[in-house]
Amino acid sequence: MLKKSLLIGIASCLWLSFKSITISLLPTLKIAENHRYFTVDNKPFFWLGDTGWLLFSKLKREDAIQYLDIRAKQGFNVIQLMVVHNIAEVNAYGDSALVNKNLAAPRVTAGNTFSKAKEYDYWDHIDWVIEQAANRGLYVALVPVWGAVVKGQHINSLQAKAYAEFLGKRYRNRSNVIWMNGGDIAGSDSTKVWNTIGNTLHALDPDFLITYHPRGRTQSSTWFHEQPWLSFNSFQSGHRNYSQDTSRNDLHYGEDNWRYAEVDYHKEPVKPTLDAEPSYEKIPYGLHDIKLPRWTDADIRRYGYWSVFAGACGYTYGNNDVMQMHKSTDKTSSYGSKGFWYQSINDPGAQQMVYLKNLMLSRPYFERIPDQSLIAGEQGKKYNRLIATRGKKYAFIYTYNGREMKINTEKLNGVNIKVSWYNPRNGRITSVGTFATSKLLKFNPPGEKKNGNDWVLILDAI
């Protein structure tokens, strides 16, 4: 086992060999004054993320450019990425991440820079991808090490500190970097390691935003909400359907990801929260049985609108083929992936995500709150659930199946209410008319009542 001084020395030397690189900057992502949302240059920032988990290890540079270009054009602004997925990690060029599978000893070649096409190592390639993301207005949420590595006892607290120091020093001048501690693992598993990584990164630069990516059907706030290193909460609502839910402690949320947002919203101190991993488009129910049905774009929309309207500061999309960067040269795939990332990147769910972001940014953003008291009738269970959010003079109410809505509009500051329907499938708005405010107004969305006929009722006070 390497001694602490040697580990720190390795990290420091690696940093010194890197510090001369010129870096492109994006405005720093910050927590808004109300501690509910994100802001950039005092303007609203709605987190619209994509799980490009294996980009660093699977894609060469020309493919990485293709991926980043498409996601940026589609309206995404955050890409979630694994830095080290396993201790034997190599990238598409065959370059190893670590020396002797030791996280405290990243394999860095002195003198290389990410700007020289033929002279770079695993870390230079990551530097280059981060730079290219910044050039396209994309922030990167980096998972330092996937949870399975830590759970397999391949890293202890001493190694975690050295590794986190290496990462923190290498990327502290990268304003488009966000840290996503953890990696699909419960915070109760190796808590000391996760706190070491979080505290080390936070100490190197307190301005960096840090969250924790938990395992399915859990949320970071369960273990780390009061930790000073945790800037905002993340939850993974997961890939199981209602009948597959086996959550403990009576937290049988099933597909109701709005419940996680609701729990985090009422915690103190106040911190932003978001669903960092809902069900992925085209992944089987529950992941492992590839004979089961697969989640569709309609399900992806439902998770997005439910969680955001319940108070989340954004939403992360995922696609089975894209998250693992499945390509034609792969000999195997996970979770029954049949398509290739460069085809599935344009799947319907991905292209529909921007409509959620556009809607949320179309009205005064920072004043928005969740408010179920707008619903005068039954709020509904499971797919019948109505979710409401509002500002001072506007409100949005979402239905997944096009059911009738009974709404109390007196909460809005106006004598009359302008009513419209927003179509989450194409972002189009259909005007309904103007009504006097009332404790009970009934609205029926277009089309027949069925799952996937989802609509947002827009109310604007006049």
Hey, what are 381's tokens?
Answer: 């269970």
- Does some domain include residue 366? no
State the greatest distance between any 2 C-alpha atoms of the chain, in Å, as a whole number: 74
Co-location of 196 and 258 in the same domain: yes
Q: Mark whether 339 and 375 lie in a shared domain.
A: no
Instruction: Confirm whether 243 is domain-assigned.
Output: yes
CATH assignment of the domain containing 398:
2.60.40
* Structure tokens belonging to residue 310: 């319940």
Supply 124's token pair.
Answer: 């230079």
**Strand ranges (DSSP E) for 4-124?**
30-31, 38-40, 43-45, 47-51, 78-84, 98-99, 102-106
- Which percentage of the chain shows pLDDT scores above 70? 92
Query: pLDDT tens digit string along 405-450?
Result: 999 999 999 999 999 999 999 999 999 999 999 999 999 999 999 9
CB 435 within 8 A of CB 447: no
Residue 269: exposure state from Cβ atoms within 10 A (0-12, 13-18, ≥19): exposed
Residue range(s) defining the domain that contains residue 152: 4-360
Q: Do 46 and 125 fall into the same domain? A: yes
Instruction: Kindly state whether residues 128 and 8 are assigned to the same domain.
Output: yes
Spell out the per-residue pLDDT of the chain, length 462, in tens.
344 444 444 444 443 333 334 456 899 999 999 999 999 999 999 999 999 999 999 999 999 999 999 999 999 999 999 999 999 999 999 999 999 999 999 999 876 555 555 557 999 999 999 999 999 999 999 999 999 999 998 899 999 999 999 999 999 999 999 999 999 999 999 999 999 999 999 999 999 999 999 999 999 999 999 999 999 999 999 999 999 987 765 567 999 999 999 999 999 999 999 999 999 999 999 999 999 999 999 999 999 999 999 999 999 999 999 999 999 999 999 999 999 999 999 999 999 999 999 999 999 999 999 999 999 999 999 999 999 999 999 999 999 999 999 999 999 999 999 999 999 999 999 999 999 999 999 999 999 999 999 999 999 999
CATH number, domain containing residue 279: 3.20.20.80
Is 376 in the same domain as 356? no
Q: Are 383 and 401 in contact (CB under 8 A)?
A: yes
> Are residues 235 and 169 both part of a single domain?
yes
* Alpha carbon distance 120, 114 (integer Å): 6
* Domain endpoint, select from 360, 386, 403: 360
Whether residue 62 lies inside any domain: the answer is yes
Kindly state whether residues 342 and 401 are assigned to the same domain: no
In a domain, 78, yes or no: yes
210-241 as b/e, with b when 16 or more CB fall inside 10 Å? bbbbbbbbbbbbbbbbebebbbbbbbbbbbbb
According to the model, what pLDDT value does residue 144 have?
98
Task: Indicate the angle between helix axes 122-135 and 61-74, nearest 10 degrees.
Answer: 30
Residues 352 and 383 in one domain: no
Whether residue 345 sits in one domain with residue 308: yes
Residue after which a domain boundary falls, among 314, 341, 360: 360
Identify whether residues 342 and 400 lie together within a single domain. no
The total of structural domains in the chain comes to 2
Residue 208 resides in a domain: yes
As given in the structure block, the two tokens for residue 206 are 């307190």
* Same domain (yes/no): 188, 330: yes
Q: Is residue 365 part of a domain?
A: no
343 and 403 together in one domain: no
**Angle between helices 297-309 and 348-360 in degrees, nearest 10:** 20
**Among candidate residues 360, 379, 398, the one where a domain is terminated:** 360
In the sheet where 30-31 sits, what is the strand order?
30-31, 38-40, 43-45
